[in-house]
Amino acid sequence: MNIQFLGAAGEVTGSCYLVSGAGLSFLVDCGMFQGGSDARQKNLHALPFDVRKLDFVLLTHAHIDHSGLLPRLIMLGYRGPVYTTAATVDLLRVMLLDSAHIQEKDAEWELRNRHRRNASLRGSPQPLYSVTQAMDALKHLRAVAYEESFSPHPDVQVRFFDAGHILGSAIIEIRVDGRRLVFSGDIGQPGRPVINDPTPVHEADALIVESTYGNRLHRPLQETEVELVESFRRTLRERRGNVIIPAFAVGRTQELIYVLTRLVRDGRLAAPLRLHVDSPMAKAVTQITLQHTNLLDEETRELIEWQRRHPQQMDVHFVADVMESMALNDVREGAVILSASGMCEAGRIKYHLRNNLPRPECAVLITGFQAAGTLGRRLVDGARAVRIFSQQVPVRASIHTIGGLSAHADQAALLDWLGHFRRPPARTFVVHGESGAATIFAGAIRDRLGWPGVEIPAYRSEARLW
């Protein structure tokens, strides 16, 4: 069996792995590349094989960097099933349609820009896929339960395990040729609120493991909460500005609602607190989360009940429409606005940043990983001005990187998860990390666990599994 690394090799986006051999061919993840000037070209050429020959597709979770090219896969001719967890199916019904809408709007924006610049029109800009094509992709989804074995092919057995990353996220174990191939997907940080800890895995002949934060340790959640409380106090009370929080609609938004609610309940944030959640997708995802309370940890279920009994102390307000979102731009002080996208690349957050970044009394709280080339990464790296909607916007607001809320395991947690294997896999491939993080993590696996056969695959490289 061979594997080809079609994405998330030397970077953290575009997860896509083609496994083939002995008359069998399947895909694990089908993610979109995000950030960087070459992302669009990489997405256009991301599936360099005959997709009609695939037997099946397995999907670890709903984040767009793992699922966002599924509509393009269908558009190119794939007609088979896509297996994933029930919660991921529910999330993709929202996320793929939203992604398609963004693709269509970006194409419209580019066309208008060309007209304004009187640029030569060599063909109209086209979206990667349309809303109609995304709806077609949804028809191929097949829901499977955690830890229940199923056969997507007569020669293959598959099990999904809870990865503790976002709702419905999975580690995938594939049995083929009498051997075990394991994909970690994105592993969550244990002890995080809302969802359960990652499930330990004990056996693999070949392992593909993520390394997003394989070169560092996360700040403890307690320190993160102290920083959140101090940022709120300084911005809302002393400076009388607004707090703007870019956040991924899936996972991070729900986690932030949890943390802020708990801080209000415990008296560490002043009540009443009104949180404006300005993201239609975040609203839909929060509703889906509440439909899957069996996947949430016990403390989260208890906090949900407390908030329902005390809405006057913690008011989570989902912004209803575009007009209400625009009205938030007129609020000069006291607003706490949580909006998508998490890397500040699209959506309503860009409007809130455009209106609040120039104001030194305001604060922007960065709560998640920012891929190279994204607007969020430029803010984290200390840019003094950024371009938003073709306008140069000065950065005068304070920028805070809140690191303890990561949905990805840090180096210690990743090594701990690997430590449950009874013996080292014959081959371990370190993926889904920028080159520095992947290199350091691969070294840590060799040095601390004593594993042989650890390597970092290059983009579009191919390797033999066994």
Q: Report the alpha-carbon distance of residue 27 to residue 56 in Å, rounded.
A: 7
Q: Report the alpha-carbon distance of residue 252 to residue 407 in Å, rounded.
A: 7
Are both 201 and 229 inside the same structural domain? no
Are both 33 and 173 inside the same structural domain? yes
- Structurally, how many domains does the chain consist of? 2
Q: What is the mean pLDDT of residues 435-461?
A: 97
347-379 pLDDT, tens digit per residue, is 899 999 999 999 999 999 998 888 888 899 999
Are both 379 and 331 inside the same structural domain? yes
Q: What pLDDT is attached to residue 238?
A: 95
User: 367: which strand partners?
Assistant: none
CA distances (Å), 445 to each of 215, 373, 436, in order? 11, 29, 14
Q: Are strands 179-183 and 273-278 parallel, antiparallel or unpaired?
A: unpaired
What proportion of the chain, given as a percentage, has pLDDT over 70?
A: 98
Question: Concatenated DSSP letters for 301-364?
Answer: HHHHHHHHH-TTTEEEEE--SHHHHHHGGG--SS-EEEES-TTSSSSTHHHHHHHHTT-TT-EE
Read off the pLDDT band of 106 (50, 70, 90): confident
Asked if 68 and 32 touch (Cβ cutoff 8 Å), the reply is: yes
Are both 401 and 414 inside the same structural domain? no
Tokens of 188: 């969550």
Q: Report the alpha-carbon distance of residue 184 to residue 71 in Å, rounded.
A: 23
Are both 288 and 339 inside the same structural domain? yes
Read off the pLDDT band of 122 (50, 70, 90): low
CATH of the domain at 374: 3.40.50.10890
Are both 192 and 310 inside the same structural domain? no
Which of 26-30, 203-207, 292-296 is least confident?
A: 292-296
Read off the pLDDT band of 341 (50, 70, 90): confident
Stated pTM of the model = 0.89
Q: What pLDDT is attached to residue 462?
A: 97
Asked if 341 and 34 touch (Cβ cutoff 8 Å), the reply is: no
pLDDT above 80: residue 109: no
66-101 pLDDT, tens digit per residue, is 999 999 999 999 999 999 999 999 999 999 998 999
Are both 65 and 211 inside the same structural domain? yes
Question: Which among 221, 172, 167 has a CA at the least distance from the CA of 56?
Answer: 172
Residue 274 CB burial class (10 angstroms; 0-12, 13-18, ≥19): exposed
Are both 164 and 30 inside the same structural domain? yes
Asked if 249 and 341 touch (Cβ cutoff 8 Å), the reply is: yes
Q: Report the alpha-carbon distance of residue 84 to residue 44 in Å, rounded.
A: 24
Tell me the residue range of the domain where 347 lies.
221-405
Q: How many CB atoms lie within 10 A of CB 6?
A: 25
**What is the residue whose two structure tokens read 């019904």?**
93
Q: Report the alpha-carbon distance of residue 158 to residue 182 in Å, rounded.
A: 10
Q: What pLDDT is attached to residue 405?
A: 83
Q: Report the alpha-carbon distance of residue 356 to residue 167 in Å, rounded.
A: 31
Q: How is residue 142 annotated by DSSP?
A: E
User: 342: which strand partners?
Assistant: none
- Residue that is last in its domain, among 357, 376, 405: 405
Are both 371 and 427 inside the same structural domain? no
CA-based torsion, 422, 428, 433, 435: positive or negative? positive
- Residue that is last in its domain, among 372, 389, 405: 405
Q: What pLDDT is attached to residue 315?
A: 93
Read off the pLDDT band of 119 (50, 70, 90): low
Question: Which among 25, 87, 15, 83 has a CA at the least distance from the CA of 53?
Answer: 25
Q: What pLDDT is attached to residue 118?
A: 66
269-321 pLDDT, tens digit per residue, is 999 999 999 999 899 999 999 999 999 989 999 999 999 999 999 999 999 89
Tokens of 332: 């000069």
Q: How is residue 51 annotated by DSSP?
A: G
Residue with more model confidence, 108 or 325: 325
Read off the pLDDT band of 390 (50, 70, 90): confident
- Residue that is last in its domain, among 387, 405, 423: 405
Q: Is 224 left (phi over 0), alpha (psi -120 to 50) or beta?
A: alpha
Q: Is 143 left (phi over 0), alpha (psi -120 to 50) or beta?
A: beta
Q: Report the alpha-carbon distance of residue 221 to residue 74 in Å, rounded.
A: 41
Tokens of 86: 């029930």
Q: What pLDDT is attached to residue 120?
A: 57
Q: What pLDDT is attached to residue 126?
A: 86
Are both 328 and 437 inside the same structural domain? no
Q: What is the mean pLDDT of residues 135-163?
A: 98
Q: What pLDDT is attached to residue 446?
A: 98
Q: Is 40 left (phi over 0), alpha (psi -120 to 50) or beta?
A: alpha
Q: What pLDDT is attached to residue 121?
A: 55
Are both 232 and 100 inside the same structural domain? no
pLDDT above 90: residue 179: yes
Are both 372 and 453 inside the same structural domain? no
**What is the residue whose two structure tokens read 């002043």?**
270
CATH of the domain at 8: 3.60.15.10
Question: Which among 435, 437, 370 has a CA at the least distance from the CA of 215?
Answer: 437
**What is the residue whose two structure tokens read 């790296």?**
381
Residues 6+ apart with CB under 8 A from 423: 203
pLDDT above 80: residue 172: yes
